[in-house]
Each structure stands twice: as structure tokens, then as C-alpha cells.
Structure 1
């Protein structure tokens, strides 16, 4: 990543979250001034780790706001050259009691509020973090063709399957791109797959639970399905790359490895034999392919899966998340 010559000011929404924390860390280490939006700057459990980052004392300012607080967002974004919109609720369970209030409203109205505030502040560039959930739920995409940035999730299909997170991400991203086109706002979107790797924050996020469950739940049987994953640090790199590269435009899929559940567990067992792994696997036919070629052509590189797993498990062990097994 290029060294920032001047102390450019960048706002990161949802700064205390899993991906956003790494984005803040990388921005601070590259000499940026950072405005981070959080629900409560005084909540040490959720946001204390941000204040301990290198250069945070002099270059990080936390703003108390959320995605539905337009005035608060305007205050956080004022004076910033760029905005990295990372904040979005991610459910830990599939059955969400009130998807409209818990997922769709924050995702869609929240993104709209951020973009309006960006236009008001005349920011030069915006990166919106979407998800492969906005790409991959498309039953009409040719089976033998890798899904790329031209592939969009089918909203009606999401409603049928009750995939509310995917629906929210799809609607928010498509509206963001249309808003940018209409208002001549320089905006790029990044669509990561399941993010794994070490956490900076102390509270466990939804995508880390997926790897933790394999290590400690000891279920009798789990589905042997494709897991499309990417290192959280590589996602943070991709977001900064999309922000810093003038030629970046449109959408970018950000995914590095596709691995079956059984193969992932076998890899974990080989490295850490003493944890409580699933006992058996139920075969699930899947052949979805996804391409990050466009992002790689921009200069993005990613870590080997083994490195991600080693760093993640070390982090879980040090944080006491794996007990004494």
C-alpha cells in the first residue's frame, strides 16, 4: 500500500467491527487521520481495541452515531476526503425475527444516509463494502461460468429462501451504485466472501463463529458444503486498494479460497488434533464458482489459507475462546 504523504482524513463507518477494525489499523499505520463511527465511544469492550492501535492517540477520532442518525453521520464525515462504509449488521443466526428492522432498514436506509452525508461533505471518493451475498444467489447464472461482477443476487429468490442479509446487501449495493451514477459521486463497491482470520476486537463476530464451531462444537454431522472464504486482512487491503487506486471503478468481488467443509476440518485436524471436531459429513452438491480476477488485476494479493487458519486459531486460543481442550 502506498504511503500517504499528507495526513488525509478518512471516515470509517462501524469502526469497531471485525473488518472495519483492520481497515482502521491499516489506515493509521499508513499515516491517515481517521474518523470512526461507533455507537458508543466509551464502550471499552466494543471499541477499546481501537484506542490501543498504533498512531490512534493522535490520529483517530471516534464519533458517537449509527447508520440511522443522519446528523451524526454528517458530523463524522465533515472534513473527510474519503469514506469507507463498512458498517452493516451481520446476523449470527439465519432466522431473524424482524428482518425489516434488524437487517433491511440499517443496510438500505443506512447506506442512503451515508451517501447523502458524503455528497453534503463533497468527499472525493467512497468505498461501500457489500458482500458476495449480493452476487451469488442467482439460480439463472450459467452453471459452468464463474460468477463475476456482472452477476447479481436475485432479490425475489432471497425472499423465498428468507436470505434477508443477502437481500439487504443486494438492495443497498445496487442503490449505492445507482445513487453514485446519478449524483456523479466517485464510488466503488467491494464484495467479500466469508471473512476469517485473527480478530482485533474482543467480541466474537458472526463469520468467526463459523470457524470456531468446527473447532469446538463436536456435532455428530455437518453438511459438506463449499465454503468461500477470505482473510479479513486481505479484505482490509482490498478496501484500501479500491480507495487509493484512481482507476478503481464499479464492483469488486473479494474472495480467495473455496474449500469444502470436510477438507477444511481435515486441515484443522492435521494442525490441531486435540479440538472437538464434527464426527461426520453429509454430502451437499454444490458447484458455484466465483472470480476475483478483476480485483487481482487492480493489484490485490491474498494469503495462503494455512496462514489465515494458523493466525486465527492462535488468536482464538489467546482470547480464551477455545477453552482448555
Structure 2
């Protein structure tokens, strides 16, 4: 809510906010809710979507807000002749969840799409919501002449503006992560609007590593940080496939090293008093 200072103060404190920042109330599921917000805008960035990995009602909690929210923003944009381009925050979740093998020599790129039936079968509800939302966005944009660019980031890390985080005390699974720095994601969105030739989708992933490699880096950066897990054999678990960075780099995105992203994430958590060691 715009009148809840605990949720907006970090935005109102940004440089230039007094002159250039306006906050609006809107409902993702209400058509027309974004009309006043996008009226007069040249660029619209649709970044909002619920992030839940456990839910008893995926349709109401994830799929409807993601799909209807995306369509409602695009419907508002279609009414406004000032809007030149819409940049959609999609996800690698709408790219990689399919039956394709992730073996040596495979390169994941913008031509990959997640399979909704596969997502639903294995109850990957967040992946399904992002897949259906992007699918609906492309259909609406093509039918209504909207210049749409989708940014597909991986697992976003790095320093943050808000005073709290949502995933405190969550355990990380022993898995492969597609990490990307939040500053690189922000830059990708800006470039997706400002570069005239930008089009289609753009995978934005800085590093694809097994979590044990991230643990190894964290241990080297912070030897006194208590970490659970064994990182000594991290090379055994390295992913065989790769994710193309070609399109992102063609837009001018330079990826932050994973070591820097992890360090800056921890330092930000420390500065905000969310961790101490």
C-alpha cells in the first residue's frame, strides 16, 4: 500500500524521488487498475508476480495473479498511445522446465520454452505461473501491436533496497542454481527499453553453479561464517550444460562475478542487521 511507509520509505528515500517518483495503488487482478499509472508513460516495466514455492491453491495464489496481472497491465498499455515499449520481467522458470536433456554440450537460450504440462505434472507451480504469464503476454502483444521485450533472469542475488527479506531461514536445496546479480537484472531491463533493436526474449544469468560452489566461495570470503554443507568436492557437481549470454551481452549487459554478488549480498544483510557473525 502506498500509505504504508514501512513498505515505501526505501523508495521515497532514493535520490530524485521527490521530483521523479510517483506511487500508485493498483490491483493485479482488476482490469483497468493500471490505467492511471501508465497514462503518459513511454516505457512500462511489469515486474510484479507472486513468488511462492509451496501453496495449497496454486491457481489463486500464483497462476491468476501472474497471468491476469500481466494481461491487465498490457491492456492498460494498449489504451495509451504514449507507451512505446513494455518490458516484462519473466524468468528462467519459463525457459528451462521441459523435457529437454541438460547434458554436456547443450546450450540453453531464448528459443527454449518451459512446457506447461510438464510443470503441472511435477507441481512446479511457480514455473507454471511464469510460463503461462509470458505465453499470455506474447499472445496479447502480438494481437494488439505492443512492442514487448521479455527479460528472463535466473536466481537473483545481490544488495537490496527494502528493509527486510522474505526468505529468512529457508534452507537451500542441494541443486544447481542459475545466479544473477540484481544490478545486472536492473541494467538488462533498462537496456531492453533503451536499445532500439531489443526484441523478443533475453536470458539473464551470470553463473550456473551447484550450490556447493557457492558455499566454497562464501567460506573463502567469510571463514568465520557458520555454513552447513560440504563444498570440498564441489567440482563433482558442476552442471554440464550452459546458458547463452550472447543476447544479454549484445544489449550491453556485463555480468557481475559471482564472488562479488555473494559478498555484496552478505554485506547488505549485515548492514540491515538481518545477519550477524
Contact 1:138 1:153 in 2 (8 A): yes
SS, match of residue 116 in structure 1: helix
Secondary structure in 2 matching 1:108: helix
Instruction: Identify the residue that residue 81 of structure 1 maps to in structure 2.
Output: 42
Contact map agreement 2:212 2:229 (CA 8 A) in 1:
no
Matching residue of 2:141:
180
Partner in structure 2 of residue 36 of structure 1: none
Which consecutive residues of structure 1, in runs of 5 or more, have no partner in the other structure?
1-39, 215-221
1:293 correspondence with 2:253: no
Query: How many residues are aligned here?
Result: 272
Q: Report deviation, 1:213.
A: 5.0
1:134 and 2:87 are equivalent in the alignment? no
Instruction: Give the Cα separation in 2 of the matches to 1:243 and 1:174.
Output: 20
Tell me how far 1:314 sits from its aligned partner. Answer: 0.7
Q: Does 1:310 align with 2:263?
A: yes
The normalised TM-score by structure 2 is 0.92
Alpha-carbon offset, residue 234 of structure 1: 0.5
What is the TM-score of this pair, normalised by structure 1? Answer: 0.79
CA distance, structure 2, for counterparts of residue 284 and residue 308 of structure 1: 21
Counterpart pick for 1:57 among 18, 27, 30: 18
SS at match of 1:176: helix
Q: Corresponding residue for 1:219? A: none
Structure 2: stretches of 5+ with no match in the other structure: none
More strand by proportion, 1 or 2? 1
Q: Residue 17 of structure 1 aligns with which residue?
A: none
Which of 149, 152, 156 is 1:195 aligned to?
Answer: 156
Q: CA deviation at 1:183?
A: 1.2
CA offset digits 1:202-237 (Å, max 9, x no partner): 12044xx59x857xxxxxxx52x2211000010000
CA distance in 2, matches of 1:286, 1:162: 23
Superposition CA RMSD, Å = 2.0
Change over 3 Å in CA distance of 1:292–1:268 after alignment to 2: same
Residue 140 (structure 1) shift:
2.6
